[in-house]
Chains A and B, each alone.
Chain A
Amino acid sequence: MSNRVPADRLPAAYEEERRERLSYVIGLVLALALTAGAFAVVWLDLLSGGAALAVLGLLAFIQAVVHLRFFLHIDLERSHRDDLMLILFTVLILLIMVSGTVWILYDQHIRMMP
């Protein structure tokens, strides 16, 4: 895309823009690789049973971290941890709710067996 660039733009801004573009490109490449890997596990029958589920779960986790890092720009720097803290707290709540729900419903299911 051709753009008119303001004449007074500092060279630092070009560098900065290049760096931020690169971040999105790295994110896209990693996400594509992880997605392809996850689908390959199933399509090519690389693994089966529990091992497949574990690997798929791990790939999804890594891809979520890639999206958070490269698309949402969440990182570990000390000056701005509030958003990271909020994610970690939300993840804690999610784990409690999801594992609790699955546990209780599975238990109920077993008890309902004839």
Chain B
Amino acid sequence: MSLSERLHPGINLAGTDPEGHEAAEEVLFGFWIFLMSDLVLFAVLFATYAAMSVQGIAEGPGPAQVFDLTAAFLETLLLLLSSFAFGFALLAMKYRENRRSVLAWLLATGILGIAFVGMELHDYYVMVTAHAATPQTSGFLSAYYLLTGTHALHVSSGLVWMAIMAIQIAVFGFDKRVKLRLMRLALFWHMLDVVWIGIFTFVYLFGVTS
């Protein structure tokens, strides 16, 4: 039987696990559809933010006064590196099925993700305490907290999912179902990094420039 090498987004199992590869097409494509609808959610929040950050500042502080670009840059690096680490976790799963190396890469991914969420919470703390920039202050800040908060919530739920997958790997090993779940989590994680590109560009960099 000849299978197409690539049936779905992300790492494909062709070559090392033909059976899993075939089973993956349907569930990964289904998850891909969910991710696209999730992107629509983010797009609406971006649109709201785009309108509010220009017209909704009211009496409150503007973007250039409250944003810390250094923190945004570090957050970008953390999320990018964690996306990269997840890629290597999946490759360790695909080619070696070695629990220890997969779990080690997942741990690295998770720590980078936790550091990212921690830095964002710290940003919020600084904004609220040093600049009195609470969500109630202006439409701009409501939209800002809603957009970045939704993203941070996605990352946090990804971290919970990651912890559950680590337990499943430890308990069940590389069962076909466990593999397919980890592959879906990888798509989720990479997609959140793509959304973050939009946030650091259109929220932080645009906000400070204009």
A residues contacting B by CB (< 8 A) are 1, 3-5, 12-13, 16-17, 20-21, 24, 27-28, 31-32, 35, 38-39, 41-43, 48-49, 52-53, 56-57, 59-60, 63-64, 67-68, 71-75, 77, 79-80, 82-83, 86-87, 89-90, 93-94, 97-98, 101-102, 105-106, 109
Bound: A86/B9 CA distance, A: 11
Q: Which residue of B is nearest A60, CB measured?
A: B201
> What residues of chain B lie closer than 8 Å to A39, measured between beta carbons?
69, 73, 205
Asked if A71 and B29 make an inter-chain contact with CB atoms under 8 angstroms apart, the answer reads no
Asked if A90 and B39 make an inter-chain contact with CB atoms under 8 angstroms apart, the answer reads yes
> What residues of chain B lie closer than 8 Å to A93, measured between beta carbons?
40, 43
Q: Which residue of B is nearest A1, CB measured?
A: B101
Main secondary structure of the interface of A (DSSP, over half): helix
- How many A-B residue pairs have C-beta atoms within 8 angstroms? Tell me: 148
Q: Which residue of A is nearest B4, CB measured?
A: A79
Bound: A63/B6 CA distance, A: 23
Q: How large is the interface on B (under 10, 10 to 19, 20 to 34, 35 or more residues)?
A: 35 or more
Which of A12, A20, A52, A82 is in CB contact (< 8 Å) with B11? A20
23 A-B pairs in the complex with CB atoms less than 8 angstroms apart: A4-B98, A16-B15, A20-B94, A24-B91, A35-B80, A39-B205, A42-B69, A43-B69, A56-B209, A60-B202, A64-B198, A67-B190, A72-B190, A72-B194, A73-B6, A80-B8, A97-B44, A98-B47, A98-B50, A101-B50, A101-B51, A102-B50, A106-B51
Bound: A103/B11 CA distance, A: 39
